[in-house]
Structure 1
Amino acid sequence: MKRPLNGVRVIDFSWVGAGSYATKILADLGAEVIKIESTKKIDGIRLSPPFAGGESGVNRSGYFADRNTSKRSMLLNLKEPGAVEIALKLIEQADIVCNNFSAGVMDRLGLGYEAVANVNPRVIYLSMSMNGDSGPERNARGYGAMMSAITGFHHLSGNPGEIPTGTGTNYPDHIPNPGHAAFAMLAALRSSRLTGQGQQIDMAQTEAMLVTLGPEFLDWTVNGNDRGPLGNKDEGFVWQDVLPTSGDDNWISITAPTTAEWSSVLEVLQLDPELTPDADSTALAQAVASRSNHQLVAELQARNVPSAPVLSPAEVIVDKQLRYREHWRVLEHPEMGETLYNGQPFKFRHTEVQPTTSAPMLGQHTDEICETLLDLSPEEIAHLRDTNVLV
């Protein structure tokens, strides 16, 4: 089936989280994404659990697999001058080049924007370092948890008066940063199709994070108000919380936007209808703790009270809504066998936009790419491998 980005070629130097997910979006949309890797510097998430069958290995990481569906992998040791020449030959034939290295790394390798634009003026070149390629903090390095801290995102997490709790994961790596990067590349690709001109995109991941905090920054700069953490509350809602229910570590999330939903909560839990949202919540918590989370959700939703069970990983996989949306994809992997993958969180009416192939084995497509795109003979490929270029 034809996909939106069929015919688009991406040379992907990104690794670990945000960059890999940004290019995964393009790959699942149909772009030919060639992931540049090396045995001399293995992508960190290839070495990150969980591993298929509990057995570690560079081709067995579920984390890596989920970030790299629909891609091809090529070995290229960029420390070798000959590898840079090969990379530039690939870039000559590409529409997009992407990396999420620290500022200056690609320049030192001989693959900065000027070098790339010299061989391919129409290329879209995305860099997504932590603080961007310019400014006094350009050399700072960090991952999602650090970006959450320095942008103030962690300041808004947790309960009032307590230390920040964070989000339990590297939130910037999973949603805002890859999302902004993918959108930027798509917008630039559209512009390139209209004008024939390339673009350099210097995206600071911290700036992409700050976009998610617009109302909080406006409240501070305009009103001098530091909102601070709200716990499980939500501004403008009468009441909201996440509470334990019966069973082993089972929980429920309940929201009462108005007094009407609050009254329904009290009715379902058979509590005093005069109980106010700001009163001692012990009775409410005890009533919730005596109920099954799924049963209680059904009763609350029947009364139009927004609520949902907090699902375990096993429950998420069999969730009826995700099954109906065909979110989960099972793809065959050369080493891991049948493997479960996340689909994209959106669907198109007339085109497929979900993963087509499992994540690649390390260097799986090196020979194929060298033969089809670089016109190299098997003997030339073997020589480049022997001279530490294709490793």
Structure 2
Amino acid sequence: MAKPILDGIVVCDFSWVGAGPITTQNLAMMGATVIHIETHKRPEILRVTPPFKDRKPGVERSGYFSPRNANKLGLSLDLAKPEAIAVVKRLLTMSDIVINNFSFGVMDKWGLSYEDCKKIKPDIIYIEMPPQGRTGPHKDFMAFGSLINALVGATFLTGHPDQKPAGTGTNYTDHVPVPGHLTFAIMAALRHRRKTGEGQFIELAQSQAGVNMVSAIPVMDYAVNGRIQQRMGNRHLELAPHNLYNCKGERNWIAIAVYNDQEWESLKKVMGSPEWADDPKFATNEGRKANEDELDAKIEEWTSAKWHRQLMDELVREGVRAGVVHSCRDVTEDYNLVERGFWTYLMHPEAGLALYNHSPMRMSKVPVLSTTPANMIGQHNQQVLHDLLKYTDEEIKEMEEKGVLN
């Protein structure tokens, strides 16, 4: 079998919470050796965040932490101790990438800034992920994804027009635009290094990645039209019908989106060509949009008597864009995801058998890995220190006694 595309690449991973760990998991799934550096003194915040396996709290049982930290090696170090910094510096001699999303200045305080690391490994690729950049009036501001969502305009646009902003329901910038942009930047930097022998510093301002993906169309609309887009619920700025509709049963909905007149005719066919749908005011998208409240009410009157899954299949067969609204349980049991092998069960040393998502990537020439569960704190100390960094057993025992490995 061919080797993974990043086989032999070593990542010194100081990242935590969302965007950083998701990025390094992308690298791990492509074969990189990711060494996740943590401390027992101050566990990563997601380790103590529910949901917990079997509803039993514990730093090794969080279902929030685990899915974004599979396929990594866990190394525990007390970075307040000089001996721990010495371990990191030895690791740097064989690392290709250093990544962190600490507050501004933390790595500098430890003597692990880009300039410091470059002296040890001149071709190192070094990544920082400040919330709003290393420069500017907000360079010292701290933030999580929910705050970035608000700053970039995503929260303002999410919800119903007659209610306050609802938010995206997840830290969207942590999960999509930041790791997406950053994974691409890392791959580009590796390619540049292969061609030139040069490493480089990568700064990714999380807010700018968010604006680039989340708010690009609304920002452009304001720039060219002076229009401030408002919350629309599940509707579309220009298309109709485009909404969620109640279906038969409890808490069942279906999303239906019609993008052109041909799809409208197909929807009419599935509805049984009701007389109201032939009204000339619904004949064009402009007319449907102008009469959207009435249109949605008529469609929902029809969908309310239908089972949502059966209706979805019928609509899709006729070329109408439709999808049922899945709960998390529905997603884990989705027959398409199961058949494609997206879900995998991995055995964790403490949490036991747990569900993980495989990579959404499929590559025809090289494997994409999902083989080991989330690392425990310091789980691979011996492997990293002895096998990779070549410390002797006596040296490792001395570090343990001094609390270097906490």
- TM-score, length basis structure 1: 0.96
Partner of 1:295: 310
Unaligned 5+ segments in structure 1 are: none
Partner of 1:247: 249
What percent of counterpart residues are identical? 38
For the pair 1:323 / 2:325, whether they are aligned, the reply is no
For the pair 1:4 / 2:8, whether they are aligned, the reply is no
Alpha-carbon distance in 2 for matches of 1:136, 1:320: 50
For the pair 1:23 / 2:24, whether they are aligned, the reply is yes
Partner of 1:65: 66
The SS at the match of 2:65 is helix
Give the residue type in structure 1 aligned to 2:163: E
Partner of 1:274: 278
Partner of 1:100: 101
Partner of 2:157: 156
Stretch moving more, 78-87 or 121-130: 78-87
For the pair 1:349 / 2:364, whether they are aligned, the reply is yes
Unaligned 5+ segments in structure 2 are: 283-287
Per-residue CA distance 1:267-321 (angstroms, 9 max, x = gap): 4334422353325233322221221100111111121100011112222112122
Write the mapping of 1:90-239 to structure 2, written as runs, cut at 5 A. Answer: 90-212=91-213, 213-239=215-241
The SS at the match of 2:278 is coil
Give the residue type in structure 1 aligned to 2:306: R
The SS at the match of 2:257 is strand
Q: CA deviation at 1:228?
A: 2.4
Q: CA deviation at 1:124?
A: 0.2
Partner of 2:300: 285
Alpha-carbon distance in 2 for matches of 1:354, 1:367: 23
Write the mapping of 1:15-94 to structure 2, written as runs, cut at 5 A. Answer: 15-94=16-95
Alpha-carbon distance in 1 for matches of 2:264, 2:342: 33
Number of corresponding residues: 391
The SS at the match of 1:216 is helix
The SS at the match of 1:63 is coil
Stretch moving more, 269-278 or 294-303: 269-278
Partner of 2:393: 378
CA contact (8 A) 2:52 2:63 kept: yes
The SS at the match of 1:253 is strand
Per-residue CA distance 1:49-105 (angstroms, 9 max, x = gap): 221122111111122110111100000111112211111110111000001112111
The SS at the match of 2:34 is strand
Q: CA deviation at 1:161?
A: 4.4
**Closer/same/farther in 2, CA of residues 140 and 369 from structure 1, 3 Å limit:** same
Give the residue type in structure 1 aligned to 2:134: D
Per-residue CA distance 1:193-222 (angstroms, 9 max, x = gap): 111111001111001101112222222223
The SS at the match of 2:25 is helix
Give the residue type in structure 1 aligned to 2:83: G
Q: CA deviation at 1:142?
A: 0.6
RMSD over aligned Cα atoms? 1.5
Q: CA deviation at 1:159?
A: 2.3
Give the residue type in structure 1 aligned to 2:380: H
The SS at the match of 1:118 is helix
Alpha-carbon distance in 2 for matches of 1:327, 1:128: 29
The SS at the match of 2:119 is helix
Give the residue type in structure 2 aligned to 1:76: L
CA contact (8 A) 1:22 1:178 kept: yes
Alpha-carbon distance in 1 for matches of 2:159, 2:52: 31
Alpha-carbon distance in 1 for matches of 2:338, 2:239: 31
CA contact (8 A) 2:154 2:168 kept: no
Alpha-carbon distance in 1 for matches of 2:233, 2:297: 17
Q: CA deviation at 1:367?
A: 1.6
